[in-house]
Chains A and B, each alone.
Chain A
Amino acid sequence: MTNNKRTKIPQGSETVFFEEAYIHRKLTEALNNLFNSWGYLPVETPVFDLFDAYRPLIPAENTDKVYRLIDRDGDLLMLRSDITLFLARQMGLILTEKELPVRICYSDSILRHQDSDDISHNEFFQSGVELIGKPGFEGDIEILLLLSRTISLMDIPAEIHLGSRSLFNTVFKAFSENDKNEILKMTSLRNFNELIDFCTPVMGKEKAEKTAELFSYIGNAKDLKKFIDEINKDEINYLINIVETLEKAGCADNVHIDLSEAGSQSYHTGIVFQVYMQKVDSAIISGGRYDSLLSNFGIPAPSVGFSMLQRKIEPGIKNIERFALPKIEKTLEESDIVNSFKKAEKLRSEGKIVTL
């Protein structure tokens, strides 16, 4: 066998070259400029941390996707697999309640294992924002408006599907945590026949069928009103109010209320949303409210935010030339390198890209 170490590439790793890397950096810069203009300041999180600090917050089915290693003291470490989690711990270390609310943004790599037949990568680039310490409606609306602006900046054909973990928790409050996790899976996979069978012994068949119909709903705020009852009225009215406010702001064109979205992470508590895009195989942006996550790290601060898998989005951005490398306008071929340098500097001061 020949020694192929020079050419062998580990499964899931990615290098981005030249023009593509330039576009990636320019888009990251544009996103961060937008976030900064809304008062969100950057945070850099460590690339690895102690696994035990996060173990209770990572669902069992996701644990095997986390890369783990052991440091020289024998502590189990994990590579950064979700920036929100790592941010929560860092914020818990430095923030006090007096400093809230705090607005932060980030753009960084995360590492997660994907199956070997997966054509995506193990290394992802995640950009996002977190609004820490702003509870309820005002915080939710701010994040959804910023999400709308973020999508507009990128100019992508995106659809926002908005649901509610608090609605889910209210409707299924009679079930144990384990049963709720089972129901959450059925709901997110839109497996409503199974949900009816599972819930009938507790709710009765008629109520189980009505509940399945409610959580299968995708549509506008107006048509959702017919589902309001005594149990769910606060949660549904809240969602309707959110969408109607987005409509007034002119930011609801691509928003669908989708009650099968009940949150992909165990730490979600309120609104949750995922953003989908034509020709991309999974959600490109995920977000929502997580009011109890930070209390795990010492600071009780209701929070809401979103993160995007930026590399999945980049091929679908319209007018990508906005972020492309400007043409190299002149290559100087002066025999005197000093003259070449002086001419090049003058052209560069005019904004041109010049090679010597």
Chain B
Amino acid sequence: MTNEPLLFALPKGRLMEKSQELFNSMGIKFSFDNRKLVADDQTGEFRFFLVKNSDLPTYVHHGIAGLGVCGSDVIYESGKDFYKLHTFSYGSTKMCLAGLKGAHNNGNDAALKVSSKFTRFTRDYYNSKNTPVEIIKLNGSVELGPVLGLSPYIVDLVETGNTLRANNLEVIKELSDIKVHLIANPAYYKINYKRINKFVEDIKKGEENWNREKQK
């Protein structure tokens, strides 16, 4: 069995912070100092890569990182198959259809025109409902779509709804629950399954303890 560290991709932003907090509570301590994007934990058991959220499936798919923390929205958009070894208690959100308050048809149009970052999800969701959909791909600030008249609807992640409210938008329909998963490249898992299974058991117990401590 190899003694090389398990290679782990983390997405930049809040998910990385939460994951780091959880791993720290389990004794897996690491930090990305001085804008570095690679960090080993103190035991040498893990090597972490800090990557852009939407690029994370690419790194894991090619086995550059064997494991990763990734939302089901990003996994779906990648179109790649991964093992989902654990679902984390944090980072949950919802994929929603939204539009300008009082200026839409509740999504009951014969054909929808939607701005979204999540084009694959939107296409597949409405295809499965037999609803024709025209999708305009945007890479950010999707809320501007209805505000500036690009499209009457958006499909986007909604966590608190504050951004929607600030732009006079409202949720019309919740389309899917989005969860955060520990994912693995299947071939990487097969080679390292004993170590990874042990880690998954540790993380399940560690997350329970971490959540219990937070509630105290």
Contact = CB atoms under 8 A, between A and B. Distances in A.
Given A159-B190, A278-B191, A191 B84 contact: yes
A279 interface: yes
Q: Which of A159, A274, A278, A281 has the most CB of B within 10 A?
A: A281
Nearest to B63: A281
A119 interface: yes
B191 A117 contact: no
A161 interface: yes
A277 interface: yes
A189 B191 contact: no
Q: Which of B2, B79, B193 has the most CB of A within 10 A?
A: B193
B187 A117 contact: no
B168 to A, nearest CB: 37
Contacts of B62: 119, 281
B79 A282 contact: no
A258 B194 CA distance: 13
B58 A161 contact: no
Contacts of A280: 63, 187
Interface residues of A, number: 19
Contacts of B177: none
Contacts of A161: 190
A115 interface: yes
A141 interface: no
Contact of B190 (A189, A191, A258, A279): A258
A175 B159 CA distance: 39
Contacts of B84: 189, 191
B193 A281 contact: no
A282 B81 CA distance: 11
Contacts of A119: 62
Given A189-B81, A189-B83, A191-B84, A277 B185 contact: no
Interface in A270-316: 274, 276-283
A180 interface: no
Contacts of B188: 281
B194 to A, nearest CB: 9
Contact of B191 (A115, A191, A276): A276
B190 A276 contact: yes
A190 B83 CA distance: 6
Contact of B61 (A159, A189, A281): A281
Contacts of A277: 191
Interface in B55-85: 58, 61-63, 79, 81-85
B185 A281 contact: yes
Interface in A235-289: 258, 274, 276-283
Interface in B135-190: 185-190
A218 B79 contact: no
A283 B187 CA distance: 6
Contacts of A279: 63
B2 A115 contact: no
Interface string B69-105: 0000000000101111100000000000000000000
Contacts of A258: 190
Contacts of A191: 83-84
Contacts of A115: 79
A278 B81 CA distance: 19
A115 B61 CA distance: 12
B53 to A, nearest CB: 15
A105 B202 CA distance: 46
A278 B190 contact: no
Contacts of B190: 159, 161, 218, 258, 274, 276
Interface string A9-39: 0000000000000000000000000000000
A117 B58 contact: yes
Given A119-B62, A218-B193, A282 B83 contact: no
B193 A282 contact: no
Given A190-B83, A191-B84, A281-B63, A276 B187 contact: yes
Interface in A207-230: 218
**In the complex, the 3 A-B pairs of residues with the closest C-beta atoms, listed nearest first:** A281-B63, A276-B190, A276-B187
Interface of B: 2, 58, 61-63, 79, 81-85, 185-191, 193
Interface of A: 115, 117, 119, 159, 161, 189-191, 218, 258, 274, 276-283
Given A117-B58, A218-B190, A280-B63, 19 more contacts: A119-B62, A161-B190, A189-B81, A189-B82, A189-B83, A189-B186, A190-B83, A190-B85, A276-B190, A277-B191, A278-B2, A278-B191, A279-B63, A280-B187, A281-B63, A281-B185, A281-B187, A281-B188, A282-B63
13 contacts: A159-B191, A189-B84, A190-B83, A218-B193, A258-B190, A274-B190, A276-B190, A277-B191, A280-B187, A281-B63, A281-B185, A282-B186, A283-B187
